[in-house]
Chains A and B, each alone.
Chain A
């Protein structure tokens, strides 16, 4: 959380439920514990709204006219949108709950639910999402650093992490040892790596 970036923004809970009272009451409950919430009456409305990069989670009703919550969750997964989902349903059966959890839902709550259960699930979901966002952000940063390297520097970096000595790298790339040393220093600086071990770790994450 001490990294500079968007993940330090205030978390937000997106509530999608076709029932206006359910939406408003959940917003009210979240406001009472100081959580920001945005409510939507349909998945379409949610999709057409602008989402910022704050840590977030989705509280999703299963049964809605038009697209059901379960379908929408699968659609998000298919589109590669990794937003933790807490399901709430008025007629949950076990099979549906199992399916939802298999799809990666954080929690499956049957209405009427205990407020603490919902709040706990939301806290968990937000923690997971901010971790996801933090990881994604730092990966993004590493990628940017990597792209800032020249082609020659990237070649040197690859051989450095293989454990080759400067002399060996110079021989392999047909460069002078001085050039390798300069490029190696540039790599360490531009990648913001404090040590060789650090550079290996950063490069590993790039490969993932």
Chain B
């Protein structure tokens, strides 16, 4: 039995055995022609929560045996009635056991299929990631090789053009660190950082991030409007991760509005409670998003920025989803774009 059952469930199984003993005693000692034996099927049902398939079958065999023994030992009473009662009980035990075994194997097959699907989805997304990494890294690699070759050629000039060699070397250094940054970010994206959830003041967390990006906004003549709902419930999420998302959305908004004339650069950050969750919106008056780009916005390595890696929004999505929220983009009424995400709230 030890092989088949979890130790914590032993006390509950003892209750099951006591009931079995009670039924056995009743059937054996009274003259009611093993009438109580039909309740063994109840025992099987009860035990099915604690026993694996094999244990359950053994228990059913034990119940059948006890029924037969009770029938044989019953001192007096109508023999034919006893025989019929015994048959009914055995049939009930067998049917109950059979149904439970079939149901459990169906459930476990469903669970296995679900696990397989999740594994498959993960492998698939990593495959996409891997081929994208290859592409992203090949850019700085190509630049490094070309710069190195250029440097070598400048050296063969007579006299060697050391100034140009230095420029080539500097480009090599910056591209090498860029390649390694890509790989670092990939690693954290692929492994997925562990989320440490806590309750925190959402607006406070957002304001901290806004304050860090204010100098950049002032430098670019961006008008910032913050519209944070005052009586928000506390958010339940990883504070630092949520701040990363807010920061990323604000940086994207800054990039977007920098492409339009200075007098039209507005960013609006607002928070509100919606459907029991906290909703944050970052709206910009920038160049907007093309309709055909909407489906790709959150895909890894999709980008419309020449310098972009195209992983900012995909990381945002992983973070928001890991924290039990959702992230999406919308077309605001006028020009620009709005990105929104939700986080679970207290209560």
Contact pattern, A 1-23, Cβ under 8 Å of B = 1, otherwise 0: 00000000000000000111110
Please list the residues of chain B having a beta carbon within 8 angstroms of any beta carbon in chain A. 131, 134-136, 138-147, 149-151, 153-154, 157, 161, 164, 167-168, 171, 174-175, 178, 303-307
Which of B136, B150, B161 is the one whose CB lies under 8 Å from A29? Answer: B150
List of A residues within 8 angstroms of B146 by Cβ? 22, 25-26, 28-29, 112-113, 115, 118
The chain A residue with its CB closest to the CB of B149 is: A115
The CA-CA distance from A92 to B151 in the complex, in Å, is 26
Asked if A111 CB lies within 8 Å of chain B CBs, one says yes
The CA-CA distance from A17 to B175 in the complex, in Å, is 15
The CA-CA distance from A146 to B171 in the complex, in Å, is 55
Known: A22-B143, A91-B131. A32 touches B150 (CB 8 A): yes
List of B residues within 8 angstroms of A63 by Cβ? 135
The CA-CA distance from A88 to B139 in the complex, in Å, is 10
Task: Known pairs A25-B142, A42-B306, A115-B145; list 15 more (Cβ under 8 Å).
Answer: A18-B306, A19-B143, A20-B306, A21-B140, A24-B143, A25-B146, A25-B147, A26-B146, A29-B153, A31-B164, A32-B151, A32-B153, A32-B154, A63-B135, A91-B135
| B147 CB, min distance to chain A CBs, angstroms | 4
The chain B residue with its CB closest to the CB of A115 is: B149
List of B residues within 8 angstroms of A163 by Cβ? none
Chain A interface, number of residues (Cβ within 8 angstroms) = 26
The CA-CA distance from A40 to B175 in the complex, in Å, is 19
| A134 CB, min distance to chain B CBs, angstroms | 29
Residue in A18, A29, A41, A66 with the greatest tally of chain B CB atoms within 10 Å: A29
The CA-CA distance from A111 to B142 in the complex, in Å, is 5
Please list the residues of chain A having a beta carbon within 8 angstroms of any beta carbon in chain B. 18-22, 24-26, 28-29, 31-33, 41-42, 63, 65-66, 88, 90-91, 111-113, 115, 118
Known: A29-B150, A31-B150, A115-B149. A21 touches B143 (CB 8 A): yes
The chain A residue with its CB closest to the CB of B310 is: A65
| B14 CB, min distance to chain A CBs, angstroms | 65
Q: Could you tell me if A22 and B142 are in contact, using CB atoms closer than 8 angstroms?
A: yes
3 cross-chain pairs, A with B, having the tightest CB-CB distances, nearest first: A111-B142, A21-B143, A115-B149
Q: Could you tell me if B150 and A19 are in contact, using CB atoms closer than 8 angstroms?
A: no
The CA-CA distance from A111 to B140 in the complex, in Å, is 9
Query: Can you identify 28 A-B contacts, CB atoms within 8 angstroms?
Result: A21-B143, A21-B174, A21-B178, A22-B142, A24-B171, A25-B142, A25-B144, A25-B147, A25-B150, A28-B146, A28-B150, A28-B171, A29-B146, A31-B150, A32-B151, A32-B153, A32-B154, A32-B161, A65-B303, A90-B136, A90-B139, A91-B135, A111-B141, A112-B138, A113-B142, A115-B146, A115-B150, A118-B146
List of A residues within 8 angstroms of B151 by Cβ? 32
| B278 CB, min distance to chain A CBs, angstroms | 33
List of A residues within 8 angstroms of B175 by Cβ? 21, 25
Q: Could you tell me if A91 and B138 are in contact, using CB atoms closer than 8 angstroms?
A: yes
| B297 CB, min distance to chain A CBs, angstroms | 13
| B50 CB, min distance to chain A CBs, angstroms | 55
Q: Could you tell me if A90 and B135 are in contact, using CB atoms closer than 8 angstroms?
A: yes
| B166 CB, min distance to chain A CBs, angstroms | 11
Q: Could you tell me if A19 and B164 are in contact, using CB atoms closer than 8 angstroms?
A: no
List of B residues within 8 angstroms of A19 by Cβ? 139, 143, 306
List of A residues within 8 angstroms of B305 by Cβ? 65
The chain B residue with its CB closest to the CB of A19 is: B139
List of B residues within 8 angstroms of A26 by Cβ? 146
List of A residues within 8 angstroms of B147 by Cβ? 21, 24-25, 28-29
The CA-CA distance from A91 to B164 in the complex, in Å, is 30
Residue in B135, B161, B175, B306 with the greatest tally of chain A CB atoms within 10 Å: B306
Residue in A26, A33, A115, A118 with the greatest tally of chain B CB atoms within 10 Å: A115
The CA-CA distance from A20 to B143 in the complex, in Å, is 9
The chain B residue with its CB closest to the CB of A42 is: B306
Q: Could you tell me if B153 and A112 are in contact, using CB atoms closer than 8 angstroms?
A: no
List of B residues within 8 angstroms of A112 by Cβ? 138, 141-142, 144-146
List of A residues within 8 angstroms of B178 by Cβ? 21
List of A residues within 8 angstroms of B164 by Cβ? 28, 31-32
List of A residues within 8 angstroms of B153 by Cβ? 29, 32-33
List of A residues within 8 angstroms of B150 by Cβ? 25, 28-29, 31-32, 115
The chain A residue with its CB closest to the CB of B290 is: A66
The CA-CA distance from A91 to B134 in the complex, in Å, is 8
List of B residues within 8 angstroms of A29 by Cβ? 146-147, 149-150, 153
The CA-CA distance from A112 to B135 in the complex, in Å, is 10
| A13 CB, min distance to chain B CBs, angstroms | 13
The chain A residue with its CB closest to the CB of B138 is: A90
